[in-house]
């Protein structure tokens, strides 16, 4: 009996062991199947990122060759291209870090379609904190009206999301794909899309701000003025209003084209090409916000015009700082609110590239954040104790890049 009892216990132990082993085997198979189910998702995500990187690289390369084809290859452009190559090489440590975050960060939603034209795309930079609705900055990048591209705003976007600000970087048609009226129409359509859809992404449609840099400052200012004229004349329905923009920030922009034609020609953006971009010499005044703001038709809209902040470096040789000063004077004469903020010794790219890549304290960034957080005391308090921004590039490389910059 004892032997039989032992045999039963041993049999039960074996059965139990087999069952546990079977369960473990089953669990491993389930886990294996689960891994197999998730692997294609990860692979697809990686493949999608690689395909996007390839497409963006192709686009930027094509834009560069388009620029060369229209500007021509001569002594002036060979020296500028060499300087640009050295400039980019010196700042490459920072560019690579920003590019990696742009393509792989979960905070970036790339190439959202806002219209039916080939370049009607925008990138959204979304803060990790999805609490109360966030202020929104619409950014129109520069690029001499020829090589503008939404990814040029990635450094700005990645820095702004750290302060709980949503950034929408707009793409638009460049010359020769389009001329200035196409660029303005694209910018206006992008602004409309953001205003009417940003609530779906956690943005506050009552706190939308507009910013442009260089050519983007000109295009976005034109879009504001054109929208004001449409609203004053009431000839057609509008999908957004200038009163929905809480403030406009123009960085290193040019706003009076007749005054800038010769300057651009001497800097390498030849008169014939610039006139073609602007649709003929007779259209230069039409696309000059400094001149258009004094149009009598705008008087009914001036009270709704957003406060304007024009930022410029005094050592800007691409677009002289007097361009911002004169536009501010024209705005004030028309009855709008305008303020000029000049930075002594800063160049065309210092404010937008070199200074942010330096990390630490950045006056223009801090000023922009203070404008966007002006109605939020809690956010302002957090800004006051925010840690210094990290450095992307060693100081010696930044200084060398500034000295050889072709801009």
Active site residues: 214, 316, 348
Q: Which helix (H) or strand (E) holds 382?
A: helix 377-384
CA 355 to centroid of chain Cα atoms: 16
| Tokens read off for 209 | 């701000």
Q: Which helix (H) or strand (E) holds 209?
A: strand 203-213
Residues with Cβ within 8 Å of residue 86, at least 6 apart in sequence? 401, 404
Spatial strand order of the sheet with 121-125 comes to 108-113, 121-125, 166-170, 134-140, 203-213, 245-251, 308-313, 338-343
**Collapsed DSSP state (helix, strand, coil) of residue 362:** coil
Cis peptide before 364 (omega within 30 of 0): no
Neighbours of 237 (CB within 10 A): 6
Burial of 248 (0-12, 13-18, 19+ CB in 10 A): buried
Residues with Cβ within 8 Å of residue 405, at least 6 apart in sequence? 83, 87, 347, 348, 349
Q: How far is CA 178 from CA 276, 278, 376, in A?
A: 10, 10, 40
| Tokens read off for 18 | 């087999």
Residues with Cβ within 8 Å of residue 402, at least 6 apart in sequence? 347, 349, 350, 354
């Amino acid at each position: 009996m004892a032997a039989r009892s032992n045999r039963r216990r041993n049999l039960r132990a074996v059965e139990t062991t087999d069952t546990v082993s079977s369960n473990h085997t089953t669990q491993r198979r389930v886990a294996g199947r689960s891994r197999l189910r998730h692997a294609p998702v990860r692979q697809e995500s990686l493949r999608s990122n690689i395909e996007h990187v390839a497409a963006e690289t192709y686009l930027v390369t094509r834009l560069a060759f388009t620029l060369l084809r229209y500007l021509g290859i001569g002594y002036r452009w060979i020296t500028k291209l060499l300087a640009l190559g050295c400039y980019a090489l010196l700042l490459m440590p920072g560019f690579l870090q920003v590019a990696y975050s742009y393509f792989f960060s979960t905070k970036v939603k790339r190439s959202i379609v806002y219209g039916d034209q080939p370049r009607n795309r925008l990138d959204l930079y979304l803060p990790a904190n999805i609490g109360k609705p966030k202020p929104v900055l619409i950014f129109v990048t520069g690029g001499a009206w020829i090589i503008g591209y939404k990814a040029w705003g990635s450094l700005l976007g990645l820095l702004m999301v750290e302060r709980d600000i949503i950034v929408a970087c707009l793409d638009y048609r460049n010359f020769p794909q389009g001329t200035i009226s196409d660029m303005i129409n694209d910018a206006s359509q992008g602004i409309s899309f953001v205003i009417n859809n940003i609530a779906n992404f956690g943005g506050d449609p009552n706190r939308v701000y507009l910013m442009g840099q260089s050519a983007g400052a000109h295009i976005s200012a034109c879009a504001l003025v054109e929208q004001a004229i449409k609203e004053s004349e009431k000839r057609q329905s509008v999908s957004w209003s200038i009163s929905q923009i809480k403030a406009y920030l123009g960085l290193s922009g040019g706003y009076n084209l007749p005054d800038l034609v010769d300057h651009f020609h001497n800097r390498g953006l030849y008169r014939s090409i610039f006139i073609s971009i602007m649709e003929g010499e007779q259209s230069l005044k039409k696309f000059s916000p400094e001149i258009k703001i004094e149009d009598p038709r705008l008087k009914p809209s001036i009270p709704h015009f957003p406060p304007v902040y024009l930022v410029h470096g005094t050592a800007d040789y691409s677009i002289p700082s007097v361009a911002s000063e004169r536009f501010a004077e024209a705005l004030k004469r028309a009855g709008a609110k305008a303020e000029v903020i000049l930075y002594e010794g800063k160049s065309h790219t210092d404010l937008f590239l070199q200074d942010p890549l330096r990390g630490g304290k950045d006056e223009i960034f801090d000023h922009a954040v203070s404008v966007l957080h002006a109605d939020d005391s809690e956010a302002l308090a957090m800004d006051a104790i925010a840690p210094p921004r990290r450095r992307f590039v060693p100081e010696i490389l930044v200084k060398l890049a500034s000295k050889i910059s072709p801009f």
